[in-house]
Amino acid sequence: MSQEPNPPSLEREPVEGTCPRCGAAELSRYPVNSEGGWFDVVKCRSCLFSVSRDPGPRLGPVQLLSDLL
């Protein structure tokens, strides 16, 4: 039995700035799924404060060919 050596991991894009709640300079941008579906968030890695939460693509990483119609 084996598992792949490098299983998928979500990459977080570092964002300049400090957290307005805890002051940590650990902001990063990434997609999350929560109440309301997908969001592109900028969050503090230290205290999880959401600096911004913008609605993301309806199906996240899944793209429908029919959306091109």
Partner 1 sequence: MTTIEEPAGRIRDLTDEQFQTAYHADRFTGSVIVNRLKYAVGHMSTAFLREAFSPIIRDWYDFACTISGPPAQDYGMAVVSNSLTPFLGTMPDATRNAVEEFGPENLSPGDVLICNDPYRGGRHVNDVLFTRPVFVAGEIVSFVTMCAHQLDMGGTVPGGFSATKTNVYENGLVLPPMLLWAKDQPVRSTFSLIFDNTRWGGLLLPDFQSMHQQLQLGERLVRENIERYGLDAFLGSLAYACDTSAEQMREAIARIPDGDYSGSALIDADGLDDTVDYRVRVTLRKRGHDIEADLSGTSAQARTCINCGVLDAKTALGVALTMLLDPAIPFTSGTWRNVDLVAPPGTLLSALPPEGAPMMFWEPSGALISAIFEALNPVLGERAVGGDYGSTNTHNASGVRDDGTPWTSATQCGGEHGPWGATKEGDGDSYTVLYNLNNLDPATETIEHDSPVVMLRKEHAIDTGGPGKHRGGAANLKDTLWLTAAAQHLSPFRTKEPSGVGADGGKPGPTGAMWIFPPGEGTSGPDGLLGVSSDVYARSTPVAGVLDPETKALDPEKGVYHYFASQKAWLTEAGSVLRCLTNGGGGWGSPFEREPAKVLADVRDEYVSVEGAARDYGVVVVGDPHFDPEGLRVDEKATTRLRSGRSDERGVS
Residues that bind partner 1 (CB under 8 A): 1-4, 7-10, 30-37, 41, 43, 46-48, 58-62, 64, 66
Instruction: Evaluate the CA torsion angle 38, 40, 45, 48 in order and state its sign.
Output: negative
CB of 48 to partner 1, least distance (A): 4
Our CB check for partner 1 shows the closer of 17 and 58 to be: 58
Vertex 50 angle, CA 47 and 55, to 5°: 150
Our CB check for partner 1 shows the closer of 33 and 52 to be: 33
What is d(CA 53, CA 14) in angstroms, rounded to the nearest whole number?
16
